[in-house]
């Protein structure tokens, strides 16, 4: 018999901007299925960080 994990929405605080954000049950299930830890940043800060990293890599090439 397979154990089922039930996920619920979770309120987290962004480590960059401090804003609270919701880590939805669907996102939690996806992260869990991939073996990932919960996010530390809100969606906006994750996108900003991702863009910064992409720009840094592009600037370092060539």
**Residue 1 — pLDDT band, cuts 50, 70, 90?**
low
Mean model confidence pLDDT for the chain: 91
Domains contained in the chain, number: 1
Q: Is residue 4 part of a domain?
A: no
Helical spans, DSSP H, in 1-62: 25-34, 43-60
Q: Is residue 3 part of a domain?
A: no
Q: Is residue 14 part of a domain?
A: yes
List, in order, residues 6 or more apart from 29 with CB less than 8 Å away: 5, 7
Q: Is residue 25 part of a domain?
A: yes
**Residue 62 — pLDDT band, cuts 50, 70, 90?**
very low
- Domain hosting residue 26, numbered range: 10-60
Interval 34-61: pLDDT, tens: 999 999 999 999 999 999 999 999 886 5
Which pTM was predicted? Answer: 0.73
């Amino acid at each position: 018999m397979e154990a089922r994990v039930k996920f619920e929405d979770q309120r987290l605080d962004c480590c960059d901007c401090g804003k609270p954000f919701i880590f939805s049950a669907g996102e939690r299930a996806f992260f869990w299925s991939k073996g990932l830890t919960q996010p530390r940043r809100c969606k906006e800060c994750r996108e900003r960080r991702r863009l910064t990293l992409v720009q840094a890599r592009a600037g370092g090439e060539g």
